[in-house]
């Protein structure tokens, strides 16, 4: 019976197999590398749609906005809007959430907890006024949301999670100011923030009618500067601890 010999693989083929074994990525790695560019493309597409939708809703409101125009603004197929957001209502909700994300992330750069309490309240007040001035679309989006009784936000856990930290931070600032004796106690941080926002929001949201009925350009550089100073004085006048009047 002939002696059995071990089958061999040609040296070149064996070397190639060895190199392949060293360089070929495992299937899971190859899948991840393929998925990453796709995810980046999907993220870019969604951000492009959101930006186009924000401008559309800002200009026409929720009722007047059209998905066809949003697709044109974004230079994409309208089917992609349905693919990512399903409907105009859900797209509007996503735009609102993105709008809140924008202002809340910008506020974080203030680093309010690193400031003395009085400076923190003033910084938040000035920031809110400046942000509303720079982002008129934020106000119009809120107008549309309120016109539809905030039904697009009622079920949004994201919107609540984005806004809660600000109130918590303001609460810490107020408590620190109370302990330091520079801010009065008993101030509800949510009520205070609503007042800060309202003093800016009403003025800017109604500047056309207010300018008309009072015969003044309320959006002139001087008028805007006066308004910012007024808001700060009102807010700080409410929260500051005032020394008792000297007795005669």
134, 222: one domain: yes
Q: What is the mean pLDDT of residues 95-109?
A: 97
pLDDT digits (tens, 9 = 90+) for 12-57: 444 444 444 444 555 554 555 556 777 777 889 999 999 999 999 9
Tell me the CATH number at 41. Answer: 1.10.10.60
pLDDT digits (tens, 9 = 90+) for 138-181: 999 999 999 999 999 998 999 999 999 999 999 999 999 999 99
In a domain, 111, yes or no: yes
DSSP 8-state assignment for residue 76? S
Which residue matches tokens 């609540």? 160
Measure the CA–CA gap between 99 and 58, rounded to whole angstroms.
11
* Domain's final residue, options 37, 61, 86: 86
pLDDT for position 242: 75
Which neighbouring-strand residues pair with 183?
Answer: 240
Provide the residue range defining the domain that includes 186: 89-241
Half-sphere exposure of 156 (CA within 13 A, CB side): 25
The structural domain count of the chain equals 2
Report pTM.
Answer: 0.81
Tell me the CATH number at 237. Answer: 1.10.357.10
In a domain, 165, yes or no: yes
Measure the CA–CA gap between 113 and 246, rounded to whole angstroms.
34
pLDDT for position 152: 94
pLDDT for position 18: 45
């Amino acid at each position: 019976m002939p002696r059995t010999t071990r089958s061999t693989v040609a040296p070149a083929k064996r070397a190639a197999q060895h190199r392949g074994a060293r360089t070929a990525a495992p299937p899971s790695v190859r899948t991840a590398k393929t998925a990453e560019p796709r995810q980046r493309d999907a993220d870019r597409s969604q951000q492009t749609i959101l930006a186009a939708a924000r401008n559309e809703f800002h200009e026409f409101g929720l009722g007047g906005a059209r998905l066809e125009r949003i697709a044109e603004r974004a230079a994409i197929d309208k089917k992609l809007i349905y693919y990512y957001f399903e409907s105009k209502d859900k797209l509007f909700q996503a735009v609102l959430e993105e709008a809140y994300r924008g202002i809340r992330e910008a506020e974080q750069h203030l680093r309010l907890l690193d400031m003395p309490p009085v400076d923190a309240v003033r910084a938040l007040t000035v920031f809110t006024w400046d942000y509303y001035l720079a982002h008129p679309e934020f106000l119009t989006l809120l107008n549309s949301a309120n016109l539809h009784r905030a039904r697009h936000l009622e079920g949004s856990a994201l919107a609540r999670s984005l806004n809660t930290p600000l109130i918590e931070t303001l609460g810490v600032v107020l408590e620190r100011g109370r302990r330091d004796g520079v801010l009065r106690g008993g101030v509800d941080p949510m009520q205070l923030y609503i007042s800060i926002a309202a003093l800016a929001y009403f003025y800017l949201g109604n500047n056309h009618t207010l300018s008309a009925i009072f015969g003044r350009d309320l959006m002139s550089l001087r008028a805007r500067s006066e308004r910012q100073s007024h808001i700060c004085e009102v807010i700080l006048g409410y929260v500051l601890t005032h020394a008792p009047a000297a007795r005669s």
